[in-house]
Amino acid sequence: MKLLFRPREHFERSNDQRYDLLPFRFMRWADGTVLLTNEAGEHQFLDSASFERFHERRLTRELTAYKDLKAKHFLADGDRQLAVDLLATKVRTKRSFLSGGIKLHLFVVTLRCDHSCAYCQVSRVTEDRTPFDMTVETAGKAIELMFRSPAPEMKVEFQGGEALLNFPLVRWCIERIETLNRTEKRRIEFVIATNLVPVTHDMLEFCRAHDVALSTSLDGPADVHNANRPRAGGDSHEQVMRNLERARAALGADRVSALMTTTALTLRHPERIVDEYVRQGFRSIFLRSVSPFGFAVRGRQTLLTGTDEFLTFYRAALAHIIEINRSGTGLVEVFSQIVLQKILTPFATGYVDLQSPTGAATSVVAYNYDGDVYASDEGRMLAEMRDFSFRLGNVHRDSYADLLGGPVAQALVEASCLEALPGCCDCAFLPFCGADPIFNWATQGDPIGHKPTSAFCTKQMGVITHLFNLLKGSDAFTRRLLVSWASAVPIESAR
Amino acid sequence: MITGISISTDSVPGLWTDGAFVACEIDAAIYPIPAALAAGYKYTDRVFVWIQSSAKSHCYVVFLRPRISGLDLGDLAGSYMNELLDQTLRHRLEGTFAPLRTLITAQAFSEGNLLDVVADPPEPR
């Protein structure tokens, strides 16, 4: 009789036949388990004894852990070449942010601002100093460079100072880009970062007609916000509230987002800040710590937050956000969402501040008002402090290749591949983390940074550890909520 | 010979302290030096680390001096040795993983198939 199928034994290998280990990193957890991660960002917790058996190739195949480890490509017991090929495909997907060149183009259209925020990262100048405005000639050159990027999708963000104080240039840029894009045919998204105070009916009409989104600042309820963001009259919060309504009415609620900055002044108010976002109808909040740049450093004694204090604030705010969701009001914490996407999905995120190599000069550039091009917004902030280490060149002098293939860009990439950095190369959180050589330079005087004393590393480790603890040990609702954030689906659909 | 401290050659596993620092004599055949360096790097937020050859062949000595007060030197040495165990395992695994990591990364970003060039030859230029 002809044998149609090979016998079962053919497909089974005996338990004493060893499997191959595929590359992984590991970290011991406080509860005695061990976290394993691999190149593709898969993760698996094992109890300590199973971990020892696993790396000694003594794990038996009937165990669930064995099957999980095989499915996630921590081990291969058959065709190792196939496993490597599949792993490579996962790595390519996870690192898809590397293709396409510069996707985020920041136009600093003016340094003028009507606020005097003590933590200002932009080192703003007063409203009447027009020499700090970008000119049409400079903007035109920046737009030419922008279209040298091969990226099929790009985001153009106008920043300041207060970007709307130079609205004629913003309008000119958007119209110029739209004209050129009739032949370029890229998908381009426009965002204006604004404190909303100078916004007029005409500006909102223009934004509506050209599908421009607005990103504003809201640091919390009035007392917290106004303490962080002083202006003449002391009414920043009131102005934001009034113009927020107008902007939403003109553009739609989903086209106006807000960011908050955590300073030493706001650390004591995690719940009140979250409640303010809910009260104002936002569906998301981004818990950001103040950056060590610009005026924040000049006033660092009072404004910069210690990393441990920020993490305490973050955990309290996140706990409150989870309870708000439990009560039926949807609110996403965006930084957690980005990290969860890295942990729980096979996809790359578009978040340029948490990439390896760094997003600076690989995914983002900033065109300053004077034509200088910086590797990122933070590089530009350092320049305002007279440190030009991350200036790539100038739009009037340098080509796209000069800017992005030059020594500054190369040095940034070299200093930001986590796989080759001390303290990072063997860290199990590597697939979920990123490098920030400009932060390291600003805080430690070295683009690679000293990880054991790095505030960036401490913060990332704290956030990622907390999210893993929530995924591991919290109630079913919390786990489903976090999965729903990662996969951007309603919590009812999250599994 | 290590200057400044008195070494008892018959002590096992080879831990000394003068109250300000702790020194661990380590067998390089069991714990390779790159593992000691990696473990030491992780402790540089808490301690000053100094590694030098021992008078014993195949051994080296790790000195740990706290940067902050209140650290128990015995706990410090114990926790360093546990870290050294993990770093030794990482060092051993990485010997196997390094070429695989390179192959996976190369394959991920290659236009051709590096894993089977016979079955899937590159397109002629």
Write the pLDDT tens digit of every residue in A74-119.
999 988 889 999 999 999 999 999 988 999 999 999 999 988 887 7
Mean pLDDT of the region A331-348 = 96
Mean pLDDT of the region A219-243 = 92
Q: What are phi and psi of A111, to 5 degrees?
A: -100, -5
Pairing status of strand A75-76 against strand A20-21: antiparallel
Residue A445, domain member (yes or no): no
d(CA A352, CA A332) in angstroms, rounded, equals 19
Let me know whether A231 and A194 are in one domain.
yes
Q: What are phi and psi of B18, to 5 degrees?
A: -115, 15
Asked if B90 and A426 come within 8 Å (Cβ–Cβ), the reply is yes
Q: What are phi and psi of B13, to 5 degrees?
A: -85, 10
ipTM: 0.86
- pLDDT, tens digit, 9 for 90 and up, residues A16-59: 458 999 999 999 999 999 999 999 999 999 999 999 999 999 99
Using an 8 Å CB-CB cutoff, list chain A residues near B105.
39, 88, 91
Let me know whether A339 and A256 are in one domain.
yes
What pTM does this model have?
0.91
Whether chain A has a CB inside 8 Å of the CB on B103: the answer is yes
Report pLDDT for A334: 97
Mutant choice from A80, A84, A89 vs B, greatest count of B C-beta within 10 A? A84
Of A55, A88, A95, nearest to B93 by CB-CB distance is A55
Instruction: Count CB atoms within 10 A of the CB of residue A92.
Output: 19
Report pLDDT for A263: 87
Residue A438, domain member (yes or no): no
Residue A379: band (very low, low, confident or very high) from pLDDT cuts 50, 70, 90: very high
Report pLDDT for B10: 47
Mean pLDDT of the region A135-148 = 98
Let me know whether A203 and A253 are in one domain.
yes
User: How many angstroms separate the Cα of A31 from the Cα of each of A28, A54, A397, A427?
Assistant: 8, 19, 57, 18
Let me know whether A19 and A141 are in one domain.
no
Residue A196 has pLDDT above 60, yes or no: yes
Report pLDDT for A493: 81
Using an 8 Å CB-CB cutoff, list chain A residues near B94.
426
Whether chain A has a CB inside 8 Å of the CB on B117: the answer is no
Let me know whether A90 and A105 are in one domain.
no
Residue A432, domain member (yes or no): no
Residue A462, domain member (yes or no): no
Pairing status of strand A256-262 against strand A287-289: parallel
d(CA A255, CA A434) in angstroms, rounded, equals 28
Contacts of A485 (CB under 8 A, 6+ apart): A332, A333, A336, A337, A340, A341
Q: How many residue pairs bridge chain A and chain B with CB atoms within 8 Å of each other?
A: 63
Farthest CA pair distance, chain A: 95
Of B41, B101, B116, nearest to A81 by CB-CB distance is B116
Quote the Cα angle for A91-A95-A98, to 5°: 145
Let me know whether A21 and A157 are in one domain.
no
Mean pLDDT of the region A283-308 = 74
Nearest CA in chain A to B101: A23
Residue B92: band (very low, low, confident or very high) from pLDDT cuts 50, 70, 90: very high
Quote the Cα angle for A249-A255-A261, to 5°: 110
Report pLDDT for A289: 87
User: How many angstroms separate the Cα of A357 from the Cα of each of A313, A363, A435, B43, B94?
Assistant: 29, 10, 7, 25, 21
Farthest CA pair distance, chain B: 70
d(CA A276, CA A287) in angstroms, rounded, equals 13
Pairing status of strand A284-285 against strand A332-333: parallel
Report pLDDT for A234: 87
d(CA A378, CA A409) in angstroms, rounded, equals 14
C-alpha torsion A150→A156→A159→A165, nearest 10: 130
Report pLDDT for A129: 63
Going by C-alpha positions, the residue among A437, A471, A254 that lies closest to residue A341 is: A471
Mean pLDDT of the region A358-377 = 96
Let me know whether A76 and A114 are in one domain.
no
Let me know whether A327 and A356 are in one domain.
yes
Give the domain-ending residue among A36, A65, A94. A94
Mutant choice from A56, A85, A90 vs B, greatest count of B C-beta within 10 A? A85
Going by C-alpha positions, the residue among A5, A24, A16 that lies closest to residue A68 is: A24
Residue A294 has pLDDT above 70, yes or no: no
Residue A69's domain comprises 8-94
Nearest CA in chain A to B39: A423
CATH number of residue A335's parent domain: 3.20.20.70
Residue A62, domain member (yes or no): yes
The DSSP output letter for A19 is P
Mean pLDDT of the region A273-294 = 90
Give the domain-ending residue among A94, A110, A139. A94
Mean pLDDT of the region A57-66 = 94
Mean pLDDT of the region A168-195 = 98
Instruction: Count CB atoms within 10 A of the CB of residue B30.
Output: 12
Give the domain-ending residue among A67, A94, A121. A94
Asked if A91 and B42 come within 8 Å (Cβ–Cβ), the reply is no
Nearest CA in chain A to B34: A422
Mean pLDDT of the region B17-44 = 95
Using an 8 Å CB-CB cutoff, list chain B residues near A28.
86
Residue A450 has pLDDT above 80, yes or no: yes
Going by C-alpha positions, the residue among A373, A494, A349, A376 that lies closest to residue A442 is: A376
CA-atom Rg of chain B in angstroms? 21
Report pLDDT for B12: 44
Residue A2, domain member (yes or no): no
Let me know whether A37 and A171 are in one domain.
no
Peptide bond into A357 cis (omega under 30): yes
Using an 8 Å CB-CB cutoff, list chain B residues near A422.
41
Residue A412 has pLDDT above 50, yes or no: yes
Asked if A450 and B44 come within 8 Å (Cβ–Cβ), the reply is yes
H-type alpha helices, chain B: 33-42, 73-108
Per-residue b or e along A51-90, where b marks 16 or more CB atoms closer than 10 Å to that residue's CB: bebbbeeebeeeeebbeebbebbbbbbeeeeebbbebbeb
Residue B2 has pLDDT above 50, yes or no: no
Residue A426, domain member (yes or no): no
H-type alpha helices, A210-235: 222-228
Report pLDDT for A385: 85
Residue B9: band (very low, low, confident or very high) from pLDDT cuts 50, 70, 90: very low
Using an 8 Å CB-CB cutoff, list chain B residues near A452.
41-46
Let me know whether A180 and A114 are in one domain.
yes
Asked if B105 and A91 come within 8 Å (Cβ–Cβ), the reply is yes
Whether chain A has a CB inside 8 Å of the CB on B101: the answer is yes
- pLDDT, tens digit, 9 for 90 and up, residues A300-317: 445 677 899 999 999 999
Residue A482, domain member (yes or no): no
Domains: count for chain A: 2
Residue B11 has pLDDT above 60, yes or no: no
Q: H or E stretch including A159? A: strand A153-159
Mean pLDDT, rounded, of chain B: 86
Let me know whether A130 and A274 are in one domain.
yes
Asked if B101 and A23 come within 8 Å (Cβ–Cβ), the reply is yes
Residue A220 has pLDDT above 90, yes or no: yes
Shortest alpha-carbon distance between residue A92 and chain B (Å): 5
Shortest alpha-carbon distance between residue A84 and chain B (Å): 6
Lowest pLDDT segment from A196-210, A375-389, B8-22, B31-45: B8-22
Place of tokens 């963000």: A157
Residue A331: band (very low, low, confident or very high) from pLDDT cuts 50, 70, 90: very high
Interface of A with B (CB under 8 A): 21-26, 28, 39, 55, 81, 84-85, 87-89, 91-92, 95, 98, 419, 422-423, 426, 450-453
Let me know whether A178 and A79 are in one domain.
no
Residue B4: band (very low, low, confident or very high) from pLDDT cuts 50, 70, 90: very low
d(CA A375, CA A229) in angstroms, rounded, equals 27
